[in-house]
Structure formats: structure tokens, C-alpha cells
Amino acid sequence: MQSFDVIIIGGGPGGTTAARILAQGGKKVALIEDKHWGGTCLNCGCIPTKMLLGAVAPGSLLRAQERLRVVKGNVKVDFTALQGRVSRFTKGTSQTLAKALAGSGVTLFEGLGTCLERKEGQPRVQVVCAENRTDMTAPDVILACGTASAAFPGLAPDHQCVLDSTDLLQSAAIPESLIIVGAGAIGLEMADFFSAMGSKVTVVEAASHVAPTEDPDIAKEMLRALTKNGITCHEGTRAKDLRTVDGKAQLSLEDGTVITAAKALVAVGRSPNTEGLGVENLGGTKTPRGYAQVDENLQCASGLYAVGDINGLTLLAHAAEHQAAYVARRILGQADGPYESGPVPSCVYGGTEIMRVGHTATALLQQGKSVEVSQAPLSMNPIAQASGGTAGFVKVVWHEGRMKGIAAVGAGVSHLVTVAQMLLKEGYSGHRLHEIMFAHPTLDEIVPMAINAPRKAVTAG
Ligand code: FAD
């Protein structure tokens, strides 16, 4: 039985962040990973998707200049070369990450980690790798096992023509046509990339609009951009059955319509990697959707924490890192209050982007709160004008004179997310906003313009 101060299961952004901080703080740390160091984010999530989008981004900028009649010609993306680059980069970074962790004193285990019942009150974990089993114990265990693509009856990837996001990211060729079920961030980013690469893309979303967690006006602008790029969108439409038939993906909608395509992506959410993990063996419980249940200290039970996707609070890499840093500092005795996320930034990337920090107007109205909004169009911004990407706007959501959320839609708006977060978190509005000098010309200037714009009351419906 090996002894550690902390055992961490899962080597994604959550697990590796906690391991690094704890090792720096002098703790003896074991980190267990069964597939790939860097987790979903590095290997089949944030990073590969952004590398793909990065390759088609210049084309999108050039097309905007072409519409202004100042650019002519074509730029072609070599998909095989691009996939090679993504694969080399993610594998190389994964190895570098593991080396850096080992170099900082973290003991790495490659294998599947399972929680075992406590012995003399002390948590135990087993790692299984092929024929080898290693048992270990520590006073604190952190679960950072993340999530996998969710599947529902009738909507389950068969990995032939019906794919999950990991399958699609590993495609050897661009499908001539592609159905995407689910228009959240993953669905929209895949739609943007594969459409830019020449696929005929059809998006099906059960909610009343694409980008279902955003305000309808933001979603409407996104829909306009998708449609302009030749992407067919079915909003408020339920997918009933998706399967491979005669070498094609065949989707039946609830209204009886049947759509076929070379491939289909199921992007209807994520489900937690808690199956067989043994959370209960250490006194933890699961939510009805299978996530590890945590309290306000991200604790599942005495000496058991869960950070990142696995606790279901926020399924984003930076949230996993933020939570992990809090738990690591808590174990080191440097944080005693409850976990505070602050406003959580989120983005959808691509030719047309969405960013948001804080609440939507819709969410506040649903809580029965009075809401005002102020807005500024990207067409007022010199950098947006220079790049020809003037469609879209920044929207500020107010409740009782206080900023509650900042969102934007348009080309390049993901770059506004940190400035928006700082301004929102510190409450920079009114005379306080003048304390900050914004560089001119920058895309950032559109955010204070939206904050200072006249406010209009909005009502539900
Ligand atoms: P993960 O990154 O999932 O890491 C968990 C690790 O634990 C995995 O490597 C897994 O193999 C391992 N593991 C699981 N069970 C065990 C076990 N029993 N034993 C040992 N190891 C185990 N987020 C963003 O913030 N921005 C984005 O742009 C973004 N884009 C995305 C695009 C796609 C296509 C996808 C799928 C996700 C995207 N995400 C994005 C979400 C982001 O990847 C996750 O929120 C983030 O990776 C969660 O980090 P984590 O550490 O909680 O879990």
C-alpha cells in the first residue's frame, strides 16, 4: 500500500492544476490518468477544436474583405496536413505536461482509478493498468474525472456514420454532408469548421433557438450568420432517431421529416465519468444525473473533493482549473471560506462568435426580476470596420442599476471576454468607467460604449 498526502483521479485541467499547486505547496501527490494527460480539453476538446477553427479563420477574414471588394482569390486548407498538425501538437503537449508534472514532484500513474472503501477512516484508491494493480491511501482524494459525450435512446453514436465529437475530430476526410444534433458551443463550432471546409451542414436544435443558453437576440444574430454561410438550421425541432442506414447517417425528426447525410454528430451534452468510480465507497453521493454531489466547499464527503466537469457545476476547462486551485489551496490550509466562482466567462468560437459573462436577460426575467439592457453595435467600432466584420453587437444586462451580465455576438468577440469580466466583476459603470483608459482603436472599446449606451427596460416574452 503506497501512502500519499493527496490522490487525484483524472489528469485533465482540473486534476493537473490541483496536482501542480499541491506539489508546489510541499504535498506528496499521486495523479492517476487512464487515457491522455491533459484530459478532454487538450486531447479532444478545447484545443483541437480551436486549432481547426484557427486554420479556417483567415479564410473568414479574407471573405469579409472580398465582400468589400478589396481581396480576390482563394485560400485552401489542407485538411490532412491540418489533422497531422493537431495530432502532433496535442500528443507533444500531453507528453510535455506529464514531464513537467513529474518534474515538479507529482507521482504519475497511468491506469484506471477506483475509490475503495476506507480503512481505519483513511480513503483508499486502486489503480489498474493491464495486469497491474496498485493500492494507495491518502487523507485527501480529489475526483477530477471529467465527462464524456452524452447519448440518449435513439440518439447514440454508433461510431460508423453517427459520431461523437471525439470521432468527428479524428475524421480522416471532410464529409460531403454533415448533420449536427445540438446547437450548443460544441455543435456550433463544429458546424462552423466543417461548413468552412465545404461540408453541407444541417443543424437540428430542440430548444427554441440555436445557442440555447443565450438570449434570443444573440441567438438570432448567430442564426443569421450560420444561414449566410449556407448552414441549414432547424430550431425548435426534436430529433427522434439517428442511425447508420446503407452507409449514411439517417435522422428522423419528430415531425416525420427524414434527413440523410454522409455523417452525423451527436452534440447533445455531456455525461459524468462516475460509472464504476466508487464515489459511494468513500461516502460520496451522486446527483440524479450521475454527477458527484458537492457542497459549498466542493467536498463530497470528509477527505473527498470533486472538481471540474465531474461535479456538473460548470462544464468548462477554466472552471475546472479555478475549482481545482480552490480545493488545492483549501487542502494546503490557504482557503477556508466556501468556493466562489465569480462571474463565469463562456465563449462560442468561430467566424461568428458569442461571449458572455454573468446573467442573460432571459434568466433574470425568469426569476421575476426587472431588467434593462444597453447595447452597442459592432458597426460603431473601428477595428470591426477595418476587418469587415461589423455584424453583431455587445449587450449589457442591468438589474436595479447594477450590471448583471455582458454578452456579445459577432466576429472576434471572444477576445472581449476578459475585459467584460473585469468590468462586470468590479462594477465599472457610470463615473467609475472613466477611471479606465481604453486603447484606441481596439475591439475592447465597444464594451464601455455598450455600458454607457441608453438603457431600455425589457419584459418577458
Ligand atoms: P477532463 O478534461 O475531462 O479530464 C478528466 C480526465 O480524467 C480524462 O483525461 C479522463 O481520461 C480521466 N479519467 C476519467 N475517469 C478516470 C478514472 N477512473 N481513472 C483515471 N482517469 C480517469 N471548455 C472550455 O472552457 N472552452 C472550450 O473552448 C471548450 N471546447 C470544448 C470542445 C469540445 C469538443 C469538448 C468535448 C469540450 C470542450 N470544452 C471546452 C469543455 C472542456 O474540455 C471541459 O470542461 C474540461 O476538459 C473539463 O476538465 P476536467 O479536468 O474536469 O475533465
Structure confidence at residue 393 (pLDDT)? 98
Structure confidence at residue 362 (pLDDT)? 97
Q: Is 399 a catalytic site residue?
A: no
Q: Report the atom number in ligand 1 closest to the C-alpha of 111.
A: 20
Nearest to 89 by CA among 141, 131, 49, 129: 49
Structure confidence at residue 417 (pLDDT)? 98
Distance CA 364, CA 253 (A): 32
CB-based contact 213:360 (threshold 8 Å): yes
Distance between Cα 13 and ligand 1 center (Å): 7
Q: Do 150-268 and 345-456 show the same overall fold?
A: no
Structure confidence at residue 59 (pLDDT)? 92
Structure confidence at residue 74 (pLDDT)? 85
Q: Which of 36, 322, 359, 440 is catalytic?
A: 440
Q: Whose CA is nearest to atom 47 of ligand 1?
A: 41
Residue 189, marked binder: yes
Q: Domain ranges in the chain?
A: 2-44+82-146+273-332, 150-268, 345-456
Distance between Cα 428 and ligand 1 center (Å): 33
Superfamily of domain 345-456: FAD/NAD-linked reductase, C-terminal dimerisation domain (3.30.390.30)
429 lines ligand 1 (CB under 6 A): no
Those residues of the chain that have pLDDT short of 50 are none
* Cβ contacts of 285 within 8 Å, gap of 6 or more: 279, 293, 300
Structure confidence at residue 460 (pLDDT)? 80
Structure confidence at residue 430 (pLDDT)? 85
Structure confidence at residue 139 (pLDDT)? 97
Q: What does each C-alpha distance from 374 to 90, 389, 434, 458 come to in angstroms?
A: 41, 21, 17, 10
Phi, psi angles (nearest 5°) of residue 129: -135, 110
Q: Report the atom number in ligand 1 closest to the C-alpha of 169.
A: 34
Question: CB pairs under 8 A, 24+ apart, for 81-86?
Answer: 82/51, 82/52, 82/55, 83/170, 83/171, 83/172, 85/51, 86/48, 86/51, 86/52, 86/169
Structure confidence at residue 374 (pLDDT)? 98
What architecture does CATH give domain 2-44+82-146+273-332? Answer: 3-Layer(bba) Sandwich (3.50)
Structure confidence at residue 345 (pLDDT)? 97
CATH class of 150-268: alpha beta
What digits encode the pLDDT tens for the residues 66-110? Answer: 999 999 988 899 999 999 999 999 999 999 999 999 999 999 999
Structure confidence at residue 299 (pLDDT)? 98
Nearest to 406 by CA among 451, 357, 370, 454: 357
388 lines ligand 1 (CB under 6 A): no
Q: Report the atom number in ligand 1 closest to the C-alpha of 349.
A: 28
Structure confidence at residue 444 (pLDDT)? 98
- DSSP secondary structure of 41-106: HHHHSHHHHHHHHHHHHHHHHHHHHHHTTS--S-----HHHHHHHHHHHHHHHHHHHHHHHHHTTP
156 lines ligand 1 (CB under 6 A): no
Residue 50, marked binder: yes
